[in-house]
């Protein structure tokens, strides 16, 4: 369990989300992923929670944190609109790398719990595909 401190102006939701992203990044590192970035901004409105590498595969990770599952699994909240936004962000990210044809995938990490308690972590690999409206850079 990690110690995590709330920022002075941070809402409960923002604190919980930041805590979940940190837990997800630590989980990936324990699984021998190389974390390349956290909260990676691409464009004015797009952000990728975690960008990691698993061997030669670039992994774009969406982290969903919930205190419990009475309203459904965290994965259920990665809806069509969120998948489109993540696809757009990934294409913009790939446009910046030297080899944009690198293999990639989209994972979701579910964090169920709250700061101060050991969370339940579930990693869904290849949770969804690139939205068909986006074209990869050459």
Tokens of 59: 């992994």
133 CB-near residues (< 8 Å, 6+ apart): 84, 87
136 with 37: CB under 8 angstroms? Answer: no
Whether the full predicted model's pTM is greater than 0.85, yes or no, is yes
* Residue 28: band (very low, low, confident or very high) from pLDDT cuts 50, 70, 90: very high
Q: What does the pLDDT average to over 22-27?
A: 96
Q: What does the pLDDT average to over 21-39?
A: 96
pLDDT of 138 higher than 80: no
* Residue 1: band (very low, low, confident or very high) from pLDDT cuts 50, 70, 90: very low
Q: Which helix (H) or strand (E) holds 18?
A: helix 12-30
- Give percent of the chain with pLDDT exceeding 70: 92
Closest CA to 51 of 11, 94, 101: 94
Q: What does the pLDDT average to over 25-54?
A: 96
**DSSP β-ladder status, 34-42 and 57-66:** unpaired
Closest CA to 85 of 137, 27, 128, 33: 128
Q: What is the pLDDT of residue 54?
A: 97
CATH architecture of 12-128: 3-Layer(aba) Sandwich (3.40)
28 with 39: CB under 8 angstroms? Answer: no
Q: What is the pLDDT of residue 2?
A: 53
């Amino acid at each position: 369990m990690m110690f995590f401190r709330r920022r002075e102006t941070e809402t409960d939701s923002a604190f919980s989300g930041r805590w979940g992203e940190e837990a997800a990044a630590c989980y990936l590192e324990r699984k021998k992923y190389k974390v390349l970035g956290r909260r990676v901004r691409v464009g004015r409105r797009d952000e990728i929670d975690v960008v990691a590498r698993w061997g030669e595969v670039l992994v774009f990770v969406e982290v969903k944190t919930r205190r419990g599952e009475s309203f459904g699994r965290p994965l259920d909240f990665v809806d069509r609109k969120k998948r489109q936004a993540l696809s757009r962000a990934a294409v913009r990210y790939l446009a910046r790398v030297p080899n944009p044809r690198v293999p990639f995938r989209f994972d979701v990490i579910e964090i169920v719990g709250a700061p101060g308690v050991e969370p339940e972590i579930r990693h869904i690999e290849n949770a969804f595909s690139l939205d068909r409206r986006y074209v990869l850079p050459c």
